[in-house]
Amino acid sequence: SRIRKLHQLYAMSFSYPSMLRLLPLLREVTPEFVDRNYLVTSGRRQAKHCLRTLEEHGLAKDVFVMNHYLRVLASAGGIDETLSFHATKFQEKGLQPNNFSDRAIIKMLVKNNRLSRALKFKHWVESPQDFVTQYDEDPNFSLKPRKLDVLSYASMIEHCAHKEELGSALLLLKECVNIHGYAPGENALRKIRSLCRK
């Protein structure tokens, strides 16, 4: 295998092997042209392998590990797979998703122009008791209601402003200020200001 060849190359060298010998080994499985789809697919495949290995060793019961895997899924663009992972895998391991988990989902949905799904997800985060899941019968686990953080609100506000949906943007802005006591950063508000001046 390629790993064995690399190991042998390092074993034969007194210091580090030369790049002239390393590059052909490293390029064995890499296509001539690497596009975004190849990188996304290989990244998702490697993340699944890492998570499976961690689960085998009992090390995956950590919210940080789950969040990083969720971020890989969200950046790969599989909306249904990512939502399913968020809804089930945290609960299977007895973990509560946190603001980072929710923000990864909101940003993914907004980036893919799925604001209605983002708002539905927001409602589920704020009141999970309104949604029936397979874990409702489990007396040992229940999802705690959470509020979205300011960065999640900023993503939705900015999206609404760029779509020139001023009413939705202002409602989300008002809700954000009521919950957190302050507005998101200037990037989220710049477009709203220009729309209000028209």
Asked if 167 and 151 touch (Cβ cutoff 8 Å), the reply is no
Query: pLDDT tens digits, the chain, 198 residues: what are they?
Result: 666 776 676 677 767 766 666 666 666 666 666 677 777 777 788 888 888 888 888 877 888 889 988 998 888 868 998 998 888 888 888 888 999 999 999 999 999 999 999 999 999 999 877 665 544 455 555 678 899 999 999 999 999 999 999 999 999 999 999 999 999 988 889 999 988 887
Where are any strands of DSSP class E within the chain? Answer: none
**Could you give the CA distance from residue 86 to residue 124 in angstroms, rounded to a whole number?**
12
Q: Which of 104, 51, 60, 96 is nearest to 78 (CA)?
A: 104
